[in-house]
Chain A
Amino acid sequence: MYRMPSLPRRLHYLAALVALAALVAVAHALRNQLNQTAIALAFVLLVILVAVRAGRGPAIFAAIVAGLSFNFFFIGPLYSLRIHRSEDLVAFVVFVVAAVLVGHLSSRLELRVMETEELQRSEQLKTALLDAVTHDLRTPLTSIKAAITTLRSGSVAEPVQRELEEVIDQEADRLNHFIQGMMDLARLEAGELSLQSRSVTADEIMEDALSRAEGLLLNHPVESSVDPGLPRLSADPRLISQVLFTVIENAAKYSPAGTPIFVSASRNGAGSVCFSIADEGPGIAPEMRDEVFRKFVRAGERPGFGVGLAIARGIVEAHRGKIWIESGNGGRGTRVQFSIPAGDAA
Chain B
Amino acid sequence: MNDDPKKILVVDDEAQITRVIQRGLESAGYQVRTANDGRSGLESFRAWVPDLVITDLSMPGYNGLELCERIRQLSEVPILVLSVRDDEPTKVRALDLGADDYVPKPFGMAELTARIRALLRRSAPPLQTDSGFEVGDFKIDPDQRLVSVRGRQVHLTPKEFDLMRFLLANRGKVLTHKTILSAVWGSNSAEQPEYLRVFVGALRKKLEENPRAPRYLKTEPWIGYRFDPE
Mark A residues whose CB is within 8 Å of B: 131, 134-135, 138-147, 149-150, 153, 155-157, 160, 163-164, 167, 170-171, 215-216, 218-219, 253-254, 256-257, 300-303
Contacts and interface: CB of A to CB of B under 8 A. Distances in A.
A156 B24 CA distance: 8
A333 to B, nearest CB: 13
Contact of B19 (A218, A254, A257): A218
A257 B40 contact: yes
Contacts of B58: 302-303
B20 A155 contact: no
A138 B82 CA distance: 12
A138 B24 contact: no
A146 B13 contact: no
Given A145-B106, A149-B109, A153-B109, A254 B60 contact: yes
Interface of B: 13-17, 19-21, 23-24, 26-28, 36-37, 40, 58, 60-61, 84-85, 105-110, 112
A135 B28 contact: no
Given A139-B84, A150-B109, 17 more contacts: A131-B85, A138-B106, A139-B17, A143-B14, A143-B16, A146-B21, A147-B20, A147-B23, A150-B23, A153-B27, A157-B27, A160-B26, A167-B16, A170-B16, A171-B16, A216-B15, A303-B84
Contacts of B110: 149, 153
Given A153-B28, A303-B84, A256 B20 contact: no
B15 A155 contact: no
A143 B21 CA distance: 8
A301 B63 CA distance: 11
B108 A146 contact: yes
> What are the 6 closest A-B residue pairs judged by CB atoms, nearest first?
A150-B24, A257-B36, A218-B15, A149-B108, A145-B106, A142-B106
Contacts of A301: 60
A304 to B, nearest CB: 10
Given A149-B110, A163-B23, A257-B37, A139 B60 contact: no
A170 B19 CA distance: 13
Nearest to A150: B24
Contacts of A140: 16
Given A141-B106, A167-B16, A146 B85 contact: no
A150 B105 contact: no
Contacts of B109: 146, 149-150, 153
Contacts of B19: 143, 163, 167, 218
A157 B27 CA distance: 8
Nearest to B82: A142
A219 B28 CA distance: 25
B15 A146 contact: no
A143 B110 CA distance: 14
A135 B58 CA distance: 10
A256 B106 CA distance: 24
B20 A160 contact: no
Contacts of B14: 139, 142-143
Looking at A140, A150, A155, A156, which has the most chain B CB atoms within 10 Å of its CB?
Answer: A150
A167 B176 CA distance: 36
Contact of A134 (B21, B27, B37, B85): B85
B158 to A, nearest CB: 45
Contacts of A153: 24, 27-28, 109-110
Interface centre among B16, B23, B27, B106 (most CB of A within 10 A): B16
A150 B20 contact: yes
